[in-house]
Amino acid sequence: MKVYKLLILLCVLMACSSKSSETENASSNSVREVLPDMSIYHLPAKWHTQNNEQIELKDLQGDVLVMVMIYTSCQAACPRLVADMRNIESQIGGQLKDEVKLILVSIDPETDTPERLKAFAKENQMDNDQWLFLQGTEASVREFANVLAVKYKQISPMDFSHSNIISVFDQKGVLQHQQEGLGVDNKETIAKINELAGNG
Amino acid sequence: MKGIGPLLLMICFFLCTQKKAFSQSMVKIEGGSYIPLYGRDSAKIIVRDFLMDVYPVTNEAFLSFVKEYPTWQKDKVRRLFADDNYLNDWESPISPGEKISLKAPVTNISWFAAKYYCECQDKRLPTIDEWEYVAMADETKKDARKDSTYNQKILEWYETPRTHKKEIGNTFKNYWGVYDMHGLVWEWTFDFNSVLISGASRKDMDNDRNLFCGSAAIGANDLMNYAAFMRYAFRGSIKANFAVKNLGFRCVKDIQDPSKNNSSNHKID
């Protein structure tokens, strides 16, 4: 008898767990009606910010996103990418600033903890609401890089080789523009951001 | 109450077995170190012990998966996760149809779909280093890369069309007990997007250093291994939502309990 009770409990638990996944599907279906197929807000992963808050990408819905993938111990290209991001930020039209978020995603989630990202943000004067630093997991970062077509590889315990790409997403999370390479003119990227933010 | 018990037991059993509909047997791969074609600066790569699917994932297994997770059916999948070619040779979203063998490896699969398929069974996609480590074995040796006939065989397969229509288990069983690493389909790897080979498809022909930080550190260690070079070049040329006719996948799994590492030929179902 006790065994049966246990089994019943087990089944109820299983039923509950399968129910919850059904409702999850239902809610993601309703998101789907609003969001285009190519939206990054379909990505299910959870991230930690530099303020140690847990977010999903879809929490960012409604803003224009400017994203780049870096790692904080990087000596070569990242400082230039970070400089590019700051340059872009400084040229966003004053009244549009609230519509735009600048996001740096770490490709080294093991090293780049929220604390470390916070310190990096402070060091680089990027410590306000407009800037967001994200720590994921090995798998979620790989997945996100795949959405951006960013390539990266760990080449030593300290260093990664990676693509230098800055990506711009519209309010619904669809990729609208990519700037490839270092030291390229940011003009086109800035124009796109201002255009999207102005429409929003 | 007494009558309900066995019924519930049966339901539970049904639920459990349903979960297992697309599981397949795995074999243990004993870790080691080797120098892959493209490595890190220290050249030698260390691969830890892991379990690998004996065969590539079949149409049959993937069919059970899409039935259980309808968001991965071809009429429902989001374009972010899979392009137009996704499962495009299947007759319908829930049937491969008569022309396709259920025992053939599933192809026209995106990286996202392959990744989720593995994750829903607590498995994962192999890394390039793990895949290549297993792929360098022939029937009797862990590392057959120096064997010219071995490389020749792989290259001959690359020249043979439509091998993806064959059924799994068609090619040789390698040293580890794994089938079809060569000769059937190309396979997705977890970190395929770590291959930083420049190409005409991107705007980086003139100056790699601008697009890739540290690109000078990446170079082929052994250009004699032409078959491996082709695999890396292919990985470098695809994107994660691509579904390609001759590209399938298989899953691997970490070995959790270190005490189990000692038993060789560890088989689980």
- Is A102 in the same domain as A14? no
Q: Do B195 and A153 touch (CB under 8 A)?
A: yes
Q: Is B4's pLDDT higher than 80?
A: no
A28 plus A51 within the same structural domain: no
Q: Are residues A167 and A83 in the same domain?
A: yes
Name the phi and psi angles at B95, rounded to 5.
-155, 125
Average of per-residue pLDDT values in chain B: 82
pLDDT score of A17: 44
Burial class from Cβ neighbours inside 10 Å (0-12, 13-18, 19+) for residue A177 reads middle
Q: What residue ranges in A23-180 does DSSP mark as E strands?
A: 46-49, 54-56, 64-70, 100-106, 131-135, 152-154, 160-163, 165-169, 175-180
Fold for domain B4-268? paralog of FGE (formylglycine-generating enzyme) (3.90.1580)
* Closest Cβ opposite residue A76 in set B124, B214, B236: B214
- Of B100 and B260, more confident: B100
* A106 and A191 fall within a common domain: yes
Amino acid B131: pLDDT:
97
Task: Report the candidate in B119, B109, B106 with the shortest Cα–Cα distance to residue B81.
Answer: B109
Closest CA to B194 of B70, B9, B45: B45
A4 at the B interface (CB within 8 A)?
A: yes
CB contacts < 8 A, A to B, total: 124
Q: How confident is the model at residue B151 (pLDDT cuts 50, 70, 90)?
A: confident
Same domain for A71 and A30: no
For residue A57, give the nearest of A67, A71, A47, A49 by alpha carbon: A47
Pairwise CA distance, residues B179 & B170, whole Å = 8
| pLDDT band at A78; cut points 50, 70, 90 | confident
Mean pLDDT along residues A178-192 = 90
Note whether B149 and B140 are within 8 A (CB): no
**For range A127-135, the mean pLDDT:** 94
Give the mean model confidence (pLDDT) for residues A83-97.
91
Which residue in chain A has the smallest CA separation from B193? Answer: A151
pLDDT of B214 above 80: no
Chain A interface test: which of B2, B80, B111, B204 (most A C-beta within 10 Å): B80
**Mean pLDDT on A20-41:** 62
- Quickly state the pLDDT bin for B152 (edges 50, 70, 90): confident
Interface test with A, best of B119, B196, B212, B238 (most A CBs within 10 A): B212
- Averaged over A108-134, what is the pLDDT? 95
Model pLDDT, residue B36: 84
Q: What's residue B60's pLDDT?
A: 96
Same domain, A114 and A179: yes
Inter-chain contact A77–B213, Cβ cutoff 8 Å? Answer: yes
d(CA B181, CA B186): 8
Highest mean pLDDT among A16-30, B135-149, B201-215, B252-266: B135-149
CB A51 within 8 A of CB A127: no
User: What confidence tier does B263 reach under pLDDT thresholds 50, 70, 90?
Assistant: very low
Compute the C-alpha angle A170/A172/A176, nearest 5°: 30
B212 at A interface, C-beta within 8 A: yes
Contact B112 A143 (CB under 8 A): yes
Quick one: A154 and A111 in the same domain?
A: yes
pLDDT at B223 > cutoff 50: no
pLDDT at A2: 53
* Chain B environment of A8 (Cβ under 8 Å): 4-5, 8
In the predicted model, what is the mean pLDDT of residues A58-80? Answer: 90
Q: What is the DSSP letter of A172?
A: T
Q: Is A180 within 8 Å of B203 when comparing Cβ atoms? A: yes
Residues B45-71 have a mean pLDDT of 96
In this predicted structure, what is the pLDDT of residue B69?
Answer: 96
Task: State yes or no: pLDDT of B160 exceeds 80.
Answer: yes
pLDDT band at B204 (very low <50, low <70, confident <90, very high): very low
Alpha-carbon gap: A151 to the closest alpha carbon of chain B (Å):
5
> Is pLDDT above 90 for B100?
yes
Alpha helices in chain B (DSSP H): 4-19, 59-68, 111-119, 128-135, 148-159, 208-211, 226-237
Looking at the fold, whether A4 and A49 belong to one and the same domain comes out as: no
pLDDT at B93: 96
Mean pLDDT score across all residues of chain A: 85
Q: What residue of B is the nearest CA neighbor of A149?
A: B239
A91 contacts chain B (CB < 8 A): no
Predicted confidence at residue A185, as pLDDT, reads 87
Residue ranges of A 104-133 with Cβ closer than 8 A to chain B: none
Whether A89 and A172 share a structural domain: yes
Confidence band, pLDDT 50/70/90 cuts, at residue A27: very low
Q: Are residues A8 and A94 in the same domain?
A: no
**Domain count within chain A:** 2
Q: What is the pLDDT of residue B253?
A: 97
Task: Out of A27-36, B31-40, B166-175, B220-229, give the one with best mean pLDDT.
Answer: B166-175
Q: Which residue has the higher pLDDT, A185 or B180?
A: B180
What average pLDDT score do residues B52-78 get?
Answer: 97
**pLDDT: is B59 or B21 the higher one?**
B59
Is the pLDDT reported for residue B3 higher than 90?
no
What is the model's pLDDT at position B230? 86
Give the residue with greater pLDDT, B228 vs A172.
A172
pLDDT level of residue B201 (50, 70, 90 thresholds):
very low
Give yes or no: residues A15 and A60 share one domain.
Answer: no
pLDDT digits (tens, 9 = 90+) for A91-107: 998 889 899 999 999 99
Q: What is the domain extent for residue A94?
A: 40-199
Is A1 found in the same domain as A77? Answer: no
Cα A69 to Cα A73, A78, A111, A157, distances in angstroms: 13, 9, 14, 18
Is B213 in CB contact (< 8 Å) with chain A? yes
**Would the CB atoms of B196 and A77 count as touching at under 8 Å?**
no
- pLDDT: is B122 or B38 the higher one? B122
Higher-scoring residue by pLDDT: B63, A11: B63
Domain boundaries, chain B: 4-268
pLDDT value at B189 more than 90: yes
